[in-house]
Structure 1
Amino acid sequence: MSVYSIKDLEHLSGIKAHTLRIWEQRYGILNPVRTDTNIRTYGDEELKLVLNIAILQNRGDYKISEIAKMSDSERSAHLLRLSEGTLNFPDQIQALTIAMLELNEVMFQQLTNNIIRKYGFEDFLIHIIHPFMLRLGTLWLSGSVSPAQEHFISHLIRQKVMSEIDQLDLSLKPHAKKFLLYLPDGELHEISLLFANYLLRSRKHQVIYLGQSLPLDELVCAYDIFKPDYVLSVFTSRPNPEEINDYLVELTDKIPEAKLLLTGYQMMALEQEVPERIQVLNNFQDLIDLANAN
C-alpha cells in the first residue's frame, strides 16, 4: 500500500490540507495512521476518497456532509453519471486516476468512451491523457503508484490509441512527409510515441513505426531503406544523462540528412545546446504545428 502525507493529498486533489484536516475532524472521512513521531499518513483508500470528493464537490451538486455519507459504490456511480455530462478536463483526469488506483477497467472504459464522444479523440489525447501521463510520472517518482497500477493503466491507454490508429484512413495527402518513429535501446515508455504516430497519420503523412528499444544500428538500417524526412523519438528514461550527449552526436552522424525531432524527460532536462539538425519538441502542439504546416 502506498503512503501519502496530507500535503500529497493536497497536491493530487487540489483540496487544501487545512480543509482536509477540518473534514477529518468534523466528518471522520479520513483515517490516518500516525508515525512514531505523530505525523499523519494516509493510504490508497483515503486518496481515492479525496479525489472523489474533489470531483463531486467541484460540480457544486453535493455538500461534503452528503458525500461523507455515501458508500464507495455510490460515489463511483455519481462520478460516472457526471462524466457523461460536463466534467471539465481536470476532473476527468482525477476520475482516470481513481480508475487506475482501483484497477477498474470498466470505469476506465466508461470514462474514456464518454470523453471521446464529447471531445473527439485528439482532444482526449492532448487535454486529458497527456496531462494524466504527466501526473502518473509524478506519482511513479514519489512511489505513490505501484508497478501493477502503472502497467494496468498504460496497457489500457495503449490499447485505446492503437484501436484509433487502426481506424484511420491511411491514404496520403499530396506532398506528404515521411516520418520514422522509434524509441532508443532500453526505452520502453511507448505511449507518447503512439500519440505522435496517431497525430501524424491522422494528418495523412507517411509513418514507419519501429516502437520500443531499438538499437541505433537497426535505426540506421531502417533509415537507409525508408529515407525519411523526419526521425522522431521520445527520450523518457534512455539514454541516461551520462550518455545522452554521446548518443546525440552519434545519432546526427549516422542519420546525416533527416531532421531529428526529439522530446521526452531526458531532452527537457538537457541544459546544453543540441546539434543543429535536432528540433526539441516541447509539447504535442509543436508536433501538430509541424504536421499541419507540411
Structure 2
Amino acid sequence: MCELLGMSANTPTDLCFSFTGLTQRGGNTGPHKDGWGVAFYEGKGVRQFHDPQPSCESPIAGLLQNYPIKSKNAICHIRQANVGDICLANTHPFVRELWGRHWVFAHNGQVPDFVRHVGMYEPVGDTDSENIFCDLMNRVRQTLPRDAMPQQLAECLVSFAHEYAQQGVFNCLLSNGDWLFTYCSTKLACITRRAPFGPAQLKDADVTVDFAAETTPNDVVSIIATEPLTAEQNWHIYQRGEWKLWQLGEVVAEGLTSLPPRESN
C-alpha cells in the first residue's frame, strides 16, 4: 500500500520535517519506492513536484527536505504500485480544476474493477486512484452548487468516500486550498501541534526539531499521515470509517461511517 501525508495550518508553514520522515519510507525504511509527489497551495496556486523514482534517493525530494516552501494546505504521497505502471503519469497527488480552484487528491488503497461515472473529468494515467478521483470530481460537479458551503461539501464527500470504501480500500486526502478532507478506510493518523510547542523526533530519520523555536504562540499546525511520523504519544489514530474536515489547522466537521468488517487472511 501507499502512504499519505497532509497538512492543514492557520499560517503558512513548511513541511520539511514531516516530509523528511515520509521520504525515508519510500525505499529505505519502507517499501513505497514506486514514485512520490507533493502539492503545496500558495493562495489559489499549487506548486507541484512529482517523481517516479524512490523518494529516499530522489534529488528532487532531497531539495524539498531543505527548501522551506510555506503553505496552509499540502498533500504528499509515496507510492507502492499495485495498479498501473511505474511512471510520472501515475504518481499522486492528482490535480483537477473545479469552480476556479485546484482540487488535489491522493489515495492509499485499492478499489478493484472500479467503474467511473461519465463526465468531463477523465484520467491521464491508468491507476484506480486517478479513476476514482475523476469519478468523485464528476459527481461533485453534478451534485453541488458552485457556492456550496463546507458542511454541504463534507456531506457530499463523506457519501462518496463511504461508497468507495465499501468497494475496496479507500484512505484519502482531498483539498481545494481552503479545506482538507480526510477519510480513513483502514489506516490514518493525525496530530495537532499548538502552544506550548516542544521538540519532536522522527521515527524514520535521525532528525529532531524544537517547534518552540520555529513557531509563534498563535500557530496551529495539523499533520495527517498513514502512520505516525514521530515518537510523540498524542497522535490520534483514526477509526475505520472515520472522516474529518480541516480548516486552518482545526477540525471543523467530523464523523464516523459504518463499514463492514475487514476480511481476515
For the criterion TM > 0.5, the same-fold answer is: no
TM class, shorter-length: under 0.3
TM-score, structure 2 normalization: 0.27
Which structure has the bigger radius of gyration?
1
Give the number of the structure whose residues are more often helix, by fraction. 1
Q: Whose strand proportion is higher, 1 or 2? A: 2
Between 1 and 2, higher relative CO (CA 8 Å, sep ≥ 6) is seen in 2
TM-score of the aligned structures, taking structure 1 as reference length: 0.25
